[in-house]
Amino acid sequence: MLRTEGISKKFAAPVLRGIELNVNQGEVHALLGANGAGKSTLCRIISGLLWADSGRMFLDGKEFTSTTRQDAEQRGIQIVQQELNLLPTLTVAENMFLDRMPCRFGWIDRRELNRRAQAAMDALNLSQIDVRTQVSELGVGQRQLVEIAGALSRSCRLLILDEPTAALTATETERLFEQLRRLKSEGTGVIYISHRLEEIRQIADRISVLRDGRLITTQPVDELSTDEIVSLMTGAEPEVVEGVSGNTHGAGTGSSSVSERKLKGTALRVSGLSVEGRLTDVNFTLYEGERLGVAGLVGAGRTEMLRALFGDLRTDGGMIRVGDGIDRQPFEYPRDAVRAGFAMVTEDRKADGLMLSMSIRENTVLPVRRKLAWHGTLVRRRSEVAVTEAMRDSLGVISQSVEQPVDELSGGNQQKVILGKWLLTAPRILLLDEPTRGIDVPARMTILKQLNQLAERGTAILMVSSDLDELMQFCDRILVLSVGKISGDFRRDAWTKELLMQACFRGHVGLSGGSQ
């Protein structure tokens, strides 16, 4: 159905080199590759968001050029991008129909607009999202679903999904897959980008692997083992890729469980932590060297919990105790938390993780700038460069120089920079919000390996992730949050995926009764 011939694109360096891609009617075609391999660029070219330098594209045998996104949309090519593109101050319905508002006598017909939007949401089994709510009130996962519903509400010959499940919970993902299967049966082609290989096994028919801007292979998904896929993506022999055997989340080395190591002492005790409307009476203890996971559905209050502990959200009650200290009010400002030995990797790199237009060095040294400076005032460039280069080398950040702006790096490398900046502060307690979201397998392994090393040296790790498999792989213990309360606390030997899922849904009306 879709065919591309010799698509090439250069930014500073070649990003795509002669891509020949074939997507059949009614198939889900997975596009795989490390971050920076060119997947997103290719999809943006197909959907008219970027122009190729050379090459041709055919839809149903007819050559076409997408000069604008509208152009591509009219041909039935819909894309849902990795970054969310909704306008936060408009309602869900307005966002979905922004370019085709139903009008009567030149005025927007709100009733019709909301009816159409609700119908589109119902088709995705998303009736619980009111299309009249402002997008700013929705969580990241729900926004993602709104975008997908918006794309599906258009005539759709070819649907491109770039990391659609990165922010979705397991149930939401399953709902999305139901829709994809329906689209497939209707003959729509789907290009599906994801780093979650088990998902791809579930939904995809064929996969294409991109590496360094080249299409390495296209094969039916059943013909490849996970090890083979990983080695195709990285270009390494399977046996060289240590720690990835039979799973994609291999945390590399050092997964010695916490019971084998000695738990030294309490790193953080939280009692009665509450944030109005978000968190109610959260109690837990985090030990030095412990890898504590936090699971829960989108909107369960996981991000809010981390932010409240880091002094970014105002709390409405509760005490914390750091190390051997005394009980105290939660921090009022992130700086106070950092001074007490906290560090936090935020969920959204672009919003509050990085200064995108500034260099790797400027981003890396930010928390320790004063310490590196002469008498805390004058910047000592040489020590900053040295520290940044050490970070870059130990985390394997691929860049031309430490003066390169971080927005030129791939997502995985950006995430390494954020982690690296906190390593410089030698944190006692590290809070992580979806640290591996949207990151390729090698970068994810590097990051998890670093986290393991930190834990072994006694840093307490509190990690939120929507990926249960990842949590089960990495953590010593998992807390489950549901509707702002802790609904489960499982040790490594006590959990099963089913138990964790049940705890995630506990407290949701009509889903699991009597377990409160």
Partner 1 sequence: MTMSDSAPTMSDSAPSSERPSAPPRSWLSRLMKSGALIDLAGLAIVLLAIVAVFSWLSPRFFSQATLATIMNQIPALTILATGMTIVLISGGIDLSVGSLVAFSSAALGIVMAKYNQPLWLAIPAAIAAGSLFGLINGSVTVFGRIPSFIVTLGTLQIARGCAYLATSKSTIYLNRSVQVLTDRIAGIGLSPAAVSAMLIVVLGQLLLTRTVFGRYCVAIGTNESAVRMSGVDTRWTRIFVFVLCGALAGMAGVIESSRLSAVDPNGAAGRELQAIAAAVIGGTSLMGGRGSVIATLFGVLIMAVLESGLGQVGAQEEIKNLVTGSAIVVAVLFDSWRHRGTRRTS
Q: Tell which positions 429-488 bind partner 1, by CB under 8 A.
A: 442-443, 445-446, 449-450, 453-454, 457
> Does 285 interact with partner 1 (rule: CB under 8 A)?
no
Q: Which is nearer to partner 1, 87 or 103 (CB)?
A: 87
Q: What tokens were used for 320? A: 């914390």
- Taking the complex as a whole, the smallest distance from the CB of residue 158 to partner 1 amounts, in Å, to 20
Report the length, in residues, of the chain.
Answer: 516
CB atoms within 10 A of CB 137: 11
Site string for partner 1, 346-375 (x = CB under 8 A): x----xxxxxxxx---xx--xx-xx--x--
> Does 378 interact with partner 1 (rule: CB under 8 A)?
yes
Q: Which is nearer to partner 1, 110 or 428 (CB)?
A: 428
Number of residues that bind partner 1 (CB under 8 A): 75
274 φ, ψ to 5°? -135, 140
Q: Which is nearer to partner 1, 440 or 476 (CB)?
A: 440
Residue with tokens 């105290």: 328
Pick from 245, 403, 494, 515: which binds partner 1 (CB under 8 A)? Answer: 403
How far is Cα 12 from Cα 192, in angstroms, rounded to an integer? 26
> Does 326 interact with partner 1 (rule: CB under 8 A)?
no
Beta strands 342-345 and 429-433 are parallel
> Does 312 interact with partner 1 (rule: CB under 8 A)?
yes
- In the range 211-240, which residues lie near partner 1 by CB under 8 A? 212, 234-236
- Taking the complex as a whole, the smallest distance from the CB of residue 22 to partner 1 amounts, in Å, to 24
Distance in Å from the first CA to the final CA of the chain: 51
Q: What tokens were used for 149? A: 């519903």
- Taking the complex as a whole, the smallest distance from the CB of residue 72 to partner 1 amounts, in Å, to 16
Q: Which is nearer to partner 1, 239 or 493 (CB)?
A: 239
> Does 256 interact with partner 1 (rule: CB under 8 A)?
no
> Does 56 interact with partner 1 (rule: CB under 8 A)?
no
- In the range 95-134, which residues lie near partner 1 by CB under 8 A? none
Which residues are bridge partners to 491 per DSSP?
Answer: 477
Q: Which is nearer to partner 1, 149 or 166 (CB)?
A: 166
Beta strands 485-491 and 477-482 are antiparallel
Q: What tokens were used for 393? A: 């080398």
Mention every residue, 6+ apart, whose C-beta is less than 8 A from residue 474: 249, 251, 255, 291, 293, 448, 451, 452, 463
> Does 398 interact with partner 1 (rule: CB under 8 A)?
yes
Q: Which is nearer to partner 1, 87 or 355 (CB)?
A: 355
Q: Which is nearer to partner 1, 391 or 462 (CB)?
A: 391
How far is Cα 53 from Cα 35, in angstroms, rounded to an integer? 21
Greatest Cα pair distance, the chain, in angstroms, is 73
- Taking the complex as a whole, the smallest distance from the CB of residue 237 to partner 1 amounts, in Å, to 11
Q: Would you give the DSSP letter of residue 274?
A: E
- The residue range among 127-135, 190-198, 285-293, 384-392 that interacts with partner 1, by the rule CB under 8 A, is 384-392
Q: How far is CA 126 from the centre of its chain?
A: 21
> Does 255 interact with partner 1 (rule: CB under 8 A)?
no
Q: Which is nearer to partner 1, 380 or 508 (CB)?
A: 380
> Does 14 interact with partner 1 (rule: CB under 8 A)?
no
Contact 109, 102 (CB under 8 A): yes
Pick from 31, 152, 338, 464: which binds partner 1 (CB under 8 A)? Answer: 338
How far is Cα 427 from Cα 342, in angstroms, rounded to an integer? 6
What type of residue sits at position 147?
Answer: E
